[in-house]
Chain A
């Protein structure tokens, strides 16, 4: 079956630090990969996505590259801000047309001024 393993939290960083949140996956077929973000009291928002190997998704300074050889989709940001404090979820879909998202457990990120 499909599964997503992501870096356990919580993660606490100082403002302007470099961020990496690791995500690896196991899937049948060729999955599409996603990062979702959940700010306090809100629903999940799609942060970025990649649909095939070597694709790079990017948004709001965040990036993640679809690495088929290492089955990974690590989230990175060069300089985090306090406003980036949230819970980040890595997820995948293996079959567009029957969109069951498979999620990781989430990583809580706190940025200290």
Chain B
């Protein structure tokens, strides 16, 4: 059973461009979580999704950030009009149920130039 997949692993964007980060959960997992790790900080919760539903987006910035987890395909974290402060590592985690452990992907390191 393959682990949580994230791509790309590294992404470079110029200020003002859009960044799309993809997360494929483990097989059989319908719960996805996104976390962000800013330089020299711990991971911070961003959003919790189930298939086609956003359950908790209390950690998402109000503007420019959005997330989805469609019925088919990976979960997408989208950042519009990126700024330098968006440079961070973005981690995705999945679980088969909200009561189970979260399994993390390797992360996408976004650099905004």
Q: A36 contacts which chain B residues (CB < 8 A)?
A: 104
Q: Bound state CA distance, A106 and B42, in angstroms?
A: 6
Instruction: Say whether B44 faces chain A, with CB atoms less than 8 Å apart.
Output: yes
- Cβ of A22 to closest chain B Cβ, rounded Å: 15
- Among B55, B58, B95, B105, the residue within 8 A (CB) of A43 is B105
- Number of contact residues on B: which range applies? 20 to 34
Known: A36-B104, A43-B4, A98-B56. 8 other contacts (CB 8 A): A43-B3, A43-B106, A43-B107, A44-B93, A45-B104, A96-B99, A98-B55, A99-B33
Residues of B within 8 A of A (CB): 3-4, 6, 33, 35, 40-45, 48, 55-56, 58-59, 91, 93, 95, 98-99, 101-107
Residues of A within 8 A of B (CB): 4, 36, 41-46, 49, 89, 91, 96-106
